Structure 1
Amino acid sequence: MLEYILNNGLYYVFVQNSSVFLVVYLFSGIKEKKSYFISSFFSVIMLTILYAHLNVWSLGLIWLTAVILDFIYIKKIHRAILFASLANILYIFANYVAGIPLSWGTGPFISSVEVLVAVGISIYLIIVLLLKKITTIVIKKVQVSERLVWMTAILSTITFISYFIIIIIERFGGEYSAMGKANEFFIIGYGLLSMLVFLALLYSLQKEYTAKEKQKEMTYLKDYTDQLEKNYTEMRRFKHDYQNILLSIEDYIKEKDLIKLEEYFYSKIKTASTAIEKNDFKLSQLGNLKVNELKSVLANKLSISQELGIDTEVEISERIEAIEADSIVLVRALGIILDNAIEAAEQIDNGMIRVAFFRKLNKLVIVVVNSCSKELPKLFELKKEGFSTKGENRGMGLSNLEQMVASTGNMMLDTKIDHGVFTQMLSIDEKK
């Protein structure tokens, strides 16, 4: 088959088709690299041979094959459609940009098929890599909804179909006719406008995300203030109860009733002392954390944990004045980790949560340990994209949480499950 392609001068079509499937791979992030490239290689050979009979109509077949092949590996039809459409749209756009000198008749050198293919693919890959870099930076910081992916997939497909129809009309009307030149400017202009709109949308998403996270931060601070007010009210109530206790003790002493005094001590005072130690004093080391937005999250979440009857304890043995990390990502990540820990521990008899902050080798380490069901899925399943114990498209899955943390550049999340104990270790690199 390769000999047939070479003998019929279809090598440049083979290279172009290969570049499309390579871009689909780059967009999709397919894990089975070897298997995908073997499958796409044979697909490209068949599509290249069919080009000799179908000519430009084979472009539609390339799109359909890319959708099917991508769906086999990523199992999500809307994403497969989106990536295949984008790969073909950018391929057409780059080809037209490379073909501008030819349509203007600038000389025999630029008319060489090899040169045009090389220039077109170079432009194609540069655009793809830039677009992927930009979207990766933004998407890691923004939780993109599946609805938005569906909408983008539909719009991309409509754009591809429009391009395809234009190319068909152009080929039947004469490749370098006046209509062909008009179509050329339309495709390039529309492509540039679409990219600008897409980048503007990503920027808008990032701004909206930042605003929402700031609002969440303010909510956490308000919750922290409310918790302080609640603690103050409880202290006043304890002061009142303490005065009543002293009066009761005084009465027993006046009456010299040591038996009732002993009974009162063990049934009331000792019990209250144990309860205080079990709850409030286990959170006392929160005072060593001076980062208010993070302290508010911890105080709020751990207080909720105690109210639910979960054995909760925090250890911060040294004073922490500042943390060198994106505060929005850190607050959100820790909030999600604690929410998940509370949800898991609440479902276990005698559930527990332990939180610890410590420094080790120029790193600040935050450890959250909680009891969990022994029927919890395996760690590799929890790390699958889109997986959440709350169900499909609900909650923040471990895969998305790890991506969000990794987007900061100086944070890393390590997760372990061992005999009903779930451990998440958040490491933050600090400057020396």
Structure 2
Amino acid sequence: METSELVTITLIVLQMIFCYTVFKLLIGEAKFSKLELLLLLISAPLMGILFLYTNFIGTIVMILSMLMLGIFFVNIKKLYITGALSYSLIIMIISDHISGLADAYIWNNTGVMIKVWDTLLHTTVGMGLAIVITVMVARIEPVIEKKVPFLSEFYPIISIMGIFMMVIYYSSIFLGKYLGNNVEIITLNLVFFIFYFFISIIAFLMYASSTRNRYETQQKELEYLSNQRYMDAMESQFKEISKFRHDYKNILTSMENFIMDRDMDGLDEYYHSMLKTSSKVIEQNDYKLEKLGNIQDRALKSILASKLITTQEKGIDARIEVTEIISKVNMNVVSLVRLMGIFLDNAIEELEELGEGVLSVAVYQDEKAVHLIIQNSCREDIPKLYQLKTKGFSTKGTNRGNGLSNVQDIVTEAENIRLATTIEHQLFTQKLVIEF
């Protein structure tokens, strides 16, 4: 085998291993399993040999082999794996083209690279640039997630954009090779790649900003409707209390008659038939929303009112305790509503499945933080916590298992939020602490 062939195979091996490593970093998994690493080290030389003799087909097979490794060893949706792999390839393509221009304009190497040192220099520069770009992406991502708290909902679109971009990039590369790959074509391709990449990013950010504005408008509308339902419930409760006060006055008058006549048997019968039944009215769900009046934070109050009223309408026993005035919650409004919505929706669904049990909500604050506790009865055979928090896992069917994994993402992003989740004695408890 000639030197140029060995150089080509070595270059492909290094690029495949490095590209797959970048892919793992992009999805936040830096560790390799032993089997995964072994298969990568075995398949990389095979892809290098295949590329040497088939070029285009070898490239396709190499991409597919990395995709299969990702699908087999990474526990996320196939679309997200394909998207992340596409972006790792895009990073490698842009880095390789910049390195190619450095070869031509800085080191004056315009020919086909067959020298070991030329190849080593080209590869080192390309991979170094890829590392820089990957680190930049990793640092920019949290900033974007803060501005777009529901970024995870855009992952399908982001993945499809990456796949489409990768196809365009490789089409341009193979077209350039067909036309005779020279410095001018490499330069033109690089300018096109960067321009197309930034145009795609700008278009996505504009779309995300528009979606966020629309989402916040919808949240305000839902908040208004929730507050309206809360006010209606309070009005109904006030009427019931007024009615009960009138009835209670009549009850006391009746009791007075039994006592005056010393009719103990009649009083006993009257107590069991009327008083004991009437006392249960105080414990009805309709009288439990008044505690929400202590919450002055509009977002928190509206989501709690909406979900608790929904709980009552479903005939589920719901209890809320707010012992003091909660004026402000130091948390992004959208994230707060999403978290509480996920917690309460999961609790309601579990209680509906169970057919019995209680939903309890407690809100209090101390000098350092606001504490939110949501507790609900649950089944004995409820899955383990690590399963419930796994992205994609669900007990309710396919494409529904992202609730608690999204919660983990939101909590991880915020520095002032702590969450403790426990399952004990058929009680599922979420304790959220939001520091001031």
Identity %: 30
Output the CA distance in 2 between the equivalents of 1:31 and 1:124.
16
The residue number in structure 2 matching 1:314 is 320
Paired AA for residue 233 in structure 2: Q
Residue 378 of structure 1 corresponds to which residue in structure 2? 384
Aligned to 2:39: 39
Q: Is the 8 A contact 2:291 2:320 kept in 1?
A: yes
Q: 1:342 aligns with which of 339, 342, 348?
A: 348
What's 1:218 paired with? 224
Deviation at 1:22, TM superposition (A): 1.2
Partner Cα distance (1:260, 1:328) in 2: 59
State the 1:379 CA deviation. Answer: 1.7
Alignment of 1:37-76 (within 5 A): 37-55=37-55, 58-74=58-74, 76=77
Question: For the structure 1 residues 422 and 18, does the alpha-carbon distance in structure 2 shift closer, same or farther, using more than 3 Å as the test?
Answer: same
Is 1:231 equivalent to 2:237 in the alignment? yes
The residue type paired with residue 293 of structure 1 is: A
Q: CA RMSD in A?
A: 3.7
Where does residue 91 of structure 2 map in the other structure? Answer: 90
Cα shift readout 1:339-395 (whole Å, capped 9, x = no counterpart): 222332344465122222345783433222211111222222111102233322237
| TM-score, length of structure 2 as denominator length | 0.81
Residue number in structure 1 paired with 2:175: 169
Which amino acid letter does the alignment assign opposite residue 94 of structure 2? F
The SS at the match of 1:33 is coil
TM-superposed CA distance for 1:21, in Å, is 0.7
The secondary structure found in structure 2 opposite 1:272 is helix
Q: CA separation in 2, counterparts of 1:323 and 1:371?
A: 27
Letter in 2 for 1:82: G
Aligned in 2, Cα 1:306/1:12: closer, same or farther, shift over 3 Å?
same
Change (3 A) 1:31 1:373: farther
2: CA distance between counterparts of 1:60 and 1:366? Answer: 51
Change in Cα spacing, 1:127 to 1:331, as seen in structure 2 (3 Å) is same
Alignment of 1:356-367 (within 5 A): 356-359=362-365, 362-367=368-373
The amino acid across from 2:334 in the alignment is I
State whether residues 358 and 366 of structure 1, in contact with CA within 8 Å, keep that contact through their aligned partners in structure 2.
Answer: yes
Please tell me whether the aligned partners of residues 305 and 312 of structure 1 are also in contact (alpha carbons under 8 angstroms).
Answer: yes
2:27 and 2:42 mapped to 1: Cα distance? 19
Are residue 415 (structure 1) and residue 421 (structure 2) matched?
A: yes
CA gap of 1:429–1:396, structure 2 versus 1, over 3 A, is same
The CA distance in 1 between the partners of 2:219 and 2:318, in whole Å, is 26
Q: Distance in 2 between matches of 1:123 and 1:208?
A: 38
**What per-residue deviation string (whole Å, max 9, x for no partner) do you get for residues 76-126 of structure 1?**
3322322222221222122223333445x4443899444433332233233
| Partner amino acid, structure 1, of 2:101 | I
Which segments of 5 or more consecutive residues in structure 1 lack a partner in the other structure?
Answer: none
Secondary structure of the corresponding residue to residue 48 of structure 1 = helix
Secondary structure of the 2:329 match is coil
Quote the offset at 1:307 in angstroms. Answer: 5.4
The residue type equivalent to 1:200 in the other structure is M
- Contact 2:316 2:351 survives alignment (8 Å): yes
Q: Which residue of 2 aligns with 1:328?
A: 334
* Shift of residue 131, structure 1, vs aligned partner: 3.1
Aligned residue in 1 for 2:275: 269
Q: Would the alpha carbon gap of residues 164 and 340 (structure 1) be closer, same or farther in structure 2, given more than 3 Å must change? A: closer
**1:93 and 1:191 in contact (8 A); partners too:** no
Q: Among 160, 163, 168, which residue is 1:157 paired with?
A: 163
Does the 8 Å CA contact 2:330/2:434 hold for their aligned counterparts?
yes
**For this pair of structures, how many residues does the alignment match?**
425
User: Which one-letter code corresponds to 1:87 in the other structure?
Assistant: S
Contact 2:324 / 2:364 at 8 angstroms: preserved in 1?
yes
Note the 1:100-119 alignment, pairs <5 A. 100-103=101-104, 105-108=105-108, 112-119=118-125
Partner of 1:142: 150
Which residue of 2 is the match for residue 294 of structure 1?
Answer: 300
Q: Secondary structure at the match of 1:425?
A: strand
1:195 and 2:201 are equivalent in the alignment: yes
SS at match of 1:373: coil
Distance 1:269 1:89 in 2: 75
- Tell me the alpha carbon deviations over residues 112-170 of structure 1, each in whole angstroms, 9 at most, x when there is no partner: 4444333322332333333344445545821645xx65555444334323322322232
Name the amino acid aligned to 2:27. Answer: S
Q: Matches of 1:198 and 1:274 in 2, distance apart?
A: 56
Does residue 1:397 correspond to 2:399, yes or no?
Answer: no
Structure-2 separation of matches of 1:202 and 1:130 = 20
Q: Which deviates more from structure 2 when the two are superposed, residues 117-126 or residues 407-416?
A: 117-126
Separation (CA, whole Å) in 2 of partners of 1:310 and 1:350: 7
Contact 1:30 1:73 in 2 (8 A): no
